[in-house]
Amino acid sequence: MAVRPEPFGALLYHFGTRRLTFLKDPMVLTVVRSLAEHPSARSACESAGMTARALPACERALATLASSQMIRERDGR
Amino acid sequence: MGSPLPLVEQFQRGLEAPICLTWELTYACNLSCVHCLSSSGRRDPRELTTAECKALIDEFERMQVFYVNIGGGEPTVRPDFWELVDYAVAHRVGVKFSTNGIRITPEVARRLTGSDYVDVQISLDGATEQVNDAVRGAGSYRTAVRAMSTLAAAGFGGFKLSVVVTRQNAGQLDDFAALADEYGAQLRLTRLRPAGRGADVWDELHPTSAQQRAVYDWLVAHGENVLTGDSFFHLAGYGRALPGLNLCGAGRVVCLVDPIGDVYACPFAIHESFLAGNVRGDGGFTRVWRESELFADLRRPQSGGACASCSAFDACRGGCMAAKFFTGLPLDGPDPECVLGHGEAALAAVGVAGGATLPRPSPDHSRPPRPPRQSSPVPVTIGRRRPPSRACDEDPLAGFVPRAG
């Protein structure tokens, strides 16, 4: 998967599925980029400074990304 | 949350790099399809060298162009084609290449199957030999089907079967879908454009309005299972938009690099009016994409012109720029295949205005028409062979003395 910053947010591309996805929310982008460094998605969200009110929308965005295999659960969990 | 502008409008203002870049590697082709968008046939002596192609791939990598659609011409006839594919993959630039299948051997198919970064698109414009070969030339149906069978046998799943929808094959969509299924391929349908040699045959080949409606209904019914490269966005005027971005991406999210490095706004607009620059210039492709005047102009908000007051304008955005241009219609008016019929009226008006000369697609690399075959002996005069003046003299004019007068 590759991430390309754009004026509106970012473009995500998965080389295996050949699918393109768009991320408009800069905070979700920060979360996606930092997922690997955090033990959980929630921790990545908190570290990005996301408020409790914004969490459900971010959860939905991450679920959509997971369903298109843009992000996936770490091996060994 | 949320950004100030809808995504589609953001796209219309241009991106840091194209989402989808078409790169035609050569004008050489073993076929002479009557509707060829790039008027291909003969190689151009100015085509980019292997080193220049690799430098361009380096640039795509730096710009994070995720993948390129490679076409031509027939790209696989370039002797360095597989070398360039390998180079792109090694630099994390995905490749989807369009081919008529001529070079898809079992060995090639096996090699391609191993990579996530390579996708293949086999072109076929008839679900039967008769319909296909009338457009793409004798033997082309068999070549394409053999290539599909070779890819399937090598285990290359999900390659694309790519069809340009014409008046002659619009009734064969179910047959195309069945053919794709048979070989484990995905069907891709695209719109016939009056570009390249297609301008000469558009009147005879473009679907009728009844066929266009049927194609739309078929696409709606098949949803995301059938790819369209966003090429039928003008049909959104019927009501529901088809899957995809539904916008003209020319110079905004797409562009074309031709075999000699010229950068055009889109693959259907090979004409000097849509030429933004050349990758050989200072700053290369990046500078053309980010700074060319033409692209800056295309990224400005467009006026709907004659279409602005139409109820369907928000859906179809006036249709395809190239289709309008090559049929002589103003760019801010209706598409020649406007689903509400405004295109027909506009075309009639242009025609009435005095047989307007249509812009000619340029450049033309078509092979010259073959001279009619001689059935009788060709009369020639064979000169008396003269021995060379010296044993080592290789000059063909050696010993030749021009006669005065």
Inspect the interface and report whether the beta carbons of B66 and A22 lie closer than 8 Å. Answer: no
**Predicted complex ipTM:** 0.79
Inspect the interface and report whether the beta carbons of A7 and B7 lie closer than 8 Å. Answer: no
**Total-model pTM:** 0.86
CA-CA distance, B333 to B346, in Å (whole number)? 8
- Average pLDDT of each block of 10 consecutive residues along chain B (405 residues)? 63 87 97 96 97 98 95 97 97 96 97 91 98 98 98 96 98 98 97 95 96 96 91 92 86 95 96 97 97 95 86 91 94 94 90 69 85 70 61 64 65
Q: How many whole angstroms from its chain centre is CA B385?
A: 50
Give chain B's contact residues with A (Cβ, < 8 Å): 1-3, 5, 7, 10, 13, 15-17, 19, 64, 66-67, 92, 94, 96, 116-117, 119
Using an 8 Å CB-CB cutoff, list chain B residues near A22: 7
pLDDT tens string A2-12: 899 888 888 89
CA-CA distance, B107 to B217, in Å (whole number)? 40
Can you give the pLDDT at residue B397?
67
Phi, psi values for residue A9, rounded to 5°: 150, -105
Strand partners, B160: B121, B186
CA distance A40 to chain B (A): 22
pLDDT tens string A58-72: 888 888 888 888 888
The residue with greater pLDDT, A52 or B102, is B102
3-state helix, strand, coil in chain A (%, to 5): 40, 20, 40
